[in-house]
Structure 1
Amino acid sequence: MEQAPDDWSDTERGLWEAFRHGEVYDLRAGSGPADLLLPAPAGHTTRPGDEEHGPDDPFTAGEWGPERTVRAEAIARLLLHGPAAAPGKVAALKLIGARVTGEFTLAGGRIGCYVEFQLCRFDRKLLLSEATAGTLRIVSCALPRLEASRLASEGDVHLARCGIPGGVRLTDARIGTDLLLNQSAVGPDAYGRAVSADGISINQDCEAERLDLLGELSLRSARIGGRLSLRGGSLRAAGPDNPNAINAARITVGHTLYLSGSEDANWTGSRTVYGSGYGGSTAAAPYRDTTHTPFRSWGRIRLSDGRFDNAVLITNAEFRLGEGEELALSRIQTPELRFTCDTPPTGAVSLNRARIGNLVDAPAAWPTEHHVSLTGFSYESLRPTEPFPLERRIAWVDSGREFRPEAYEQLAAALRRDGADEDARTVLYAKQRRRRRTLPLPGRIWGHLQDAAVGYGYRPGRAAAWLVLAWALGTAYFAAHRPAPIKADEHVVWNPALYAAGKVLPLIDLGQNGWDPGPTGQWVATALVLTGWVLATTAVAGVTRLLQRG
């Protein structure tokens, strides 16, 4: 039987035997089930103040002696060139409560066994770049930094409840099943990135609930086969040199993106890194009757060009955006966008050229003061979670910095599909009034006349009212200025009301054509004819639209 090297300590020899038998090697000072502790806040190596959780807390400054110390090179020896498993056993590294000293380098290596670290403290960063592994679990551990670009795993990679003040790099990594980052606290690297995972491929879910980041979460061109959950997360940009809280341009998510609150009942007192029910709600009470930790971010959010095959859920979220920063959802594609924040983002929201199926929103969720950009934004239907007055919906499409007629037309089309034809006409009427403000002075004057007279054709009742007024004025004038008959030998019965009606409705002969109105009356009659043509045509067109659908 192969023996541990002679220069290994007694502690390391014990790890050798535990590895051969696939057993847990527990170096904690205490006993009983391991309590998976939460890390220090993002950016901190240890917890501030006197907050401690006993001698086995890896996130405090307490000293761990040689009886709990294992060299990184000894662990690397086991993982890369370890002994054969004991008969009837499967070799595995399961280490709890150890201090790992020295350079931990597994870059480019092949790790053929199950690996799990719990409540461990690493003195130096972990180097796993271009390594190949099965399942790797690092849970409730303190480590300065993780370098794992182009890591390839066949199973899960867990980095839950870890404190990593120097950041995580997973660029172009390939995760066979799930990536778990729940409740970890990660600080920034030299470029202001806390988690750099551009180009990562995750076959199933990426769970990062209640993640605490100081620095950018970078997921550009990432591909996630299942869901991406950031429920209850707290993400802060590192500073002015890198103002991004999330940079996930061109991301592809096979199911749902969650930027939402996390139900406290699922996590309070939980002894696992999954909360209760793997992030799902276990409470039967309605959402507003339970307590939640909202998703919070400070800094720019970029999800532009993302593809989300099921939905994007932005609920119970708080976005603190500085000057010039925005929540960028430009050109995203998803069957459903749920935007129901209790408080609106403090900066701009861009949905330019996004393509959505159902838009589920609430009036209070959107920022005001021209901070919503909807250029080319298309959606099939509107499904507000609470009453959304049409006036506020029109203000929503007009909340961009410039006039965009397609935003009004898209809203009108969605309302027609829901059978709200009158609301759709109101929206198109508002579009004409908003367009008027962009015209030069002559165009604005003409627009005011059209608006007052016929409501740009969307208020046919107004045209009919003006028609009646023109007839009444004509009747009054010709009643006071009776014209002479054209032919003295013809005795036509004079009726000023019918005479004025014949001018206002020139296609109808009411038997009053045998009168000569005189020079002044001729101008009045001509004005009545022109007014009648314009207003009657507008009224007929409006009635026709009333009888049409779509």
Structure 2
Amino acid sequence: MTEPLEGLTPAEARLWDAFRRGDPCDLRTGDPELDDPAADLEWDASRTVRAIVVARLLLDGPGREPGRVAALKLAGALLTGVLDLSGGQVRPYVELRDCRFDCRLLLPEAHFSTLRLLRCAVPRVEAARLSTEGDLHLPRCTVPGGIRLTDAHIGTDLLLNQLVVGQDRSGQAISADGLTVAQDMEAELVEAAGEISLRSARIGGRLSLRGSTLRNPYGRYALNAARVTVEHTLYLSSGWLSGHLDGGTPPVGVRTRRFSCEGGVRLDDGRFGNAVIADKARFHLVGAQTLSLRRIQTPELRLTLDEPPSGRISLAGARVGNLTDARSSWPGAGGIDLAGFSYESLAPQGSFPLSRRIAWLADATPEYNPDPYETLAQALRGSGEDSQAREVLLAKQRRRRETLPLAGKVWGCLQDVTVGYGYRPGRAALWMAVLWAVGALYFAGRPAPPPVDEQAWPHWNPALLALDLLLPFADLGQSNAWRLSGAAQWIAAGMNLLGWMLATTVAAGASRLLRRG
């Protein structure tokens, strides 16, 4: 059995004995103000424990008492010196509550069963390639110098709720590229000043940032999670302010805090097994900062904001099953990139009329691009809204017309006015009926012209003559039977020309419909 170190203080001796029994060692005074590790109040020597004593207990501690399980459960202590457990195998359960560290905590390549730091104040946490068999908890801790968890492996859950964290010299608050969490990563109501980097991280459950406030206004990103994999859901939504944090929907009457981000968000190439939810979140972007969701893949994207981001949103190349959005979620012209964005269905929250949806597409395509229009039309067809899908495709043709030369614009206008590019075929019948009526009345008010063949002498029928002139592919025996002259000849030629144009536009529209837009 390892003997106690010489020269232990009363607090250290008390901790040594408690460790063997797995009992808590509580050095708190009972005064919440005096026990706050983040407060600017001095703690006396009766609460001081040297870091080397803690390291000795965890790495080469005394044996447990018979029938007990050794564990380090320390509360209200001032840990002096650097607690360096780098590369160590820490088998006992470790829980530190309301403790204050006067130097950084070094845990790179260390292995723990479970490590819990609850409401502790630590200048900085270095834990690259840390591994745990169970949880890693840092809730309500204050870490002004940032946290490094690069390539760390957490065996179950990572809990960071109500963490207050500052940035290191490189501007990062939490550096966790390559992090692996077997289950959930909870980072609710976090206050971070600096970049949170989760590039290529893998989360086996959900990643929750409900109610968190991320601030990095002078950097490029406040949240950089490119290539992240989340097996369940990413939450960028409201968190509820209470003593108990277990996620879920806030109960009625409970105060909530919205997710707020000052700085860019990058989720490019992320994979999400269930959904990405940004509900009532606030994104304050300046300069080149963007809300970037390029090439993400998720069954559902819920973007329901009360106000649009102050910068640009990019969904270029993203693939989404169901898109739930709100009219207020989207910035104006030039602030949206939907190039290559695909979704299968739409479920707008609140009023989002089709006219505004078409304007949304126009805002996203300063230069004409047919793909966003066709994607929207396909989603509307899938939900049974065929008439709305045709309106979207009609809007696409009108946008395309703006890019054509003068002759193309004239021809396009004619197709639009007559048959709505084939998406409003009833217009052609209406025009035919109007022209037929006008032509029939005109010819009925004139005497019968002389026949081409005086011996045949056909029966004069003004209505059939007008119809024969309008139908270019039919011969009703009238248009070629009479010798028209003067104004009547010009009227006949005009009707024949209009008939050909109507027939051509109807054929073009029918062909477009057969190609499904």
Task: Provide the TM-score with structure 2 as the length reference.
Answer: 0.94
Say if 1:100 and 1:121, in contact at 8 Å, map to a contact too: yes
* 1:326 Cα offset (Å): 1.3
- 1:46-445 map, 5 Å: 53-237=32-216, 239-240=217-218, 242-264=219-241, 267=242, 270=243, 275-276=244-245, 278-281=246-249, 283=251, 285=252, 291-400=255-364, 401-445=366-410
Say if 1:467 and 1:531, in contact at 8 Å, map to a contact too: no
Cα separation, 2, equivalents of 1:91 and 1:219: 35
The answer to whether 1:450 aligns with 2:404 is: no
Give the structure, 1 or 2, with the largest relative contact order (CA under 8 Å, sep 6 or more). 1
Say if 2:422 and 2:512, in contact at 8 Å, map to a contact too: no
Cα separation, 2, equivalents of 1:507 and 1:469: 19
* 1:448 Cα offset (Å): 2.4
Q: Could you tell me which amino acid in structure 2 is paired with residue 279 of structure 1? A: G
Residues 106 and 290 of structure 1, relative CA distance in 2, 3 Å threshold: closer
Q: Could you tell me which amino acid in structure 2 is paired with residue 166 of structure 1? A: G
* 1:345 Cα offset (Å): 1.4
Counterpart position of 1:491: 457
Cα separation, 1, equivalents of 2:474 and 2:453: 22
The answer to whether 1:22 aligns with 2:1 is: no
Cα separation, 2, equivalents of 1:442 and 1:142: 73
Q: Which runs of 5+ in 1 are unaligned?
A: 32-52
Counterpart position of 1:38: none
Residues 187 and 249 of structure 1, relative CA distance in 2, 3 Å threshold: same
Say if 1:464 and 1:535, in contact at 8 Å, map to a contact too: no
* 1:461 Cα offset (Å): 2.3
* 1:58 Cα offset (Å): 0.7
Say if 1:123 and 1:143, in contact at 8 Å, map to a contact too: yes
* 1:453 Cα offset (Å): 2.8
**SS across alignment from 2:299:** strand
Counterpart position of 2:500: 533
Counterpart position of 1:503: 469
What is the CA deviation profile of residues 512-550 of structure 1, one whole-angstrom value per residue up to 9, with x for unaligned ones?
Answer: 231122476555434323321331354477689999999
**SS across alignment from 1:399:** helix
Counterpart position of 1:43: none
**SS across alignment from 1:398:** helix
**SS across alignment from 1:4:** coil
Aligned length: 514
* 1:348 Cα offset (Å): 1.3
What is the CA deviation profile of residues 281-324 of structure 1, one whole-angstrom value per residue up to 9, with x for unaligned ones?
Answer: 462x4xxx654211000010001100000111110211111122
* 1:207 Cα offset (Å): 0.3
* 1:330 Cα offset (Å): 1.0
Residues 117 and 496 of structure 1, relative CA distance in 2, 3 Å threshold: same
Cα separation, 2, equivalents of 1:147 and 1:334: 33
**SS across alignment from 2:205:** coil
Cα separation, 2, equivalents of 1:323 and 1:2: 60
Say if 2:51 and 2:83, in contact at 8 Å, map to a contact too: yes
What is the CA deviation profile of residues 50-103 of structure 1, one whole-angstrom value per residue up to 9, with x for unaligned ones?
Answer: xxx421111111111111001111111111111111111111111100001111
Residues 93 and 481 of structure 1, relative CA distance in 2, 3 Å threshold: farther
The CA RMSD over aligned residues, in Å, is 2.3
Q: Which runs of 5+ in 2 are unaligned?
A: none
Say if 1:228 and 1:253, in contact at 8 Å, map to a contact too: yes
Cα separation, 1, equivalents of 2:311 and 2:89: 47
Say if 1:482 and 1:517, in contact at 8 Å, map to a contact too: no
Residues 59 and 444 of structure 1, relative CA distance in 2, 3 Å threshold: same
Say if 2:422 and 2:510, in contact at 8 Å, map to a contact too: no
**SS across alignment from 2:454:** coil
Cα separation, 2, equivalents of 1:134 and 1:438: 65
The answer to whether 1:471 aligns with 2:439 is: no
Residues 342 and 290 of structure 1, relative CA distance in 2, 3 Å threshold: farther
Cα separation, 2, equivalents of 1:252 and 1:546: 41
**SS across alignment from 1:499:** helix
Say if 1:72 and 1:103, in contact at 8 Å, map to a contact too: yes
Which segment drifts farther, 386-395 or 117-126?
A: 386-395
Say if 2:419 and 2:509, in contact at 8 Å, map to a contact too: no
Q: Could you tell me which amino acid in structure 2 is paired with residue 16 of structure 1? A: W
Cα separation, 1, equivalents of 2:64 and 2:378: 68
Percent sequence identity is 54
* 1:233 Cα offset (Å): 0.4
Residues 338 and 437 of structure 1, relative CA distance in 2, 3 Å threshold: same
Say if 1:344 and 1:365, in contact at 8 Å, map to a contact too: yes
**SS across alignment from 1:116:** strand
Cα separation, 1, equivalents of 2:254 and 2:489: 78
Q: Could you tell me which amino acid in structure 2 is paired with residue 398 of structure 1? A: A
Residues 160 and 113 of structure 1, relative CA distance in 2, 3 Å threshold: same
Cα separation, 2, equivalents of 1:481 and 1:315: 75
Cα separation, 2, equivalents of 1:371 and 1:297: 18
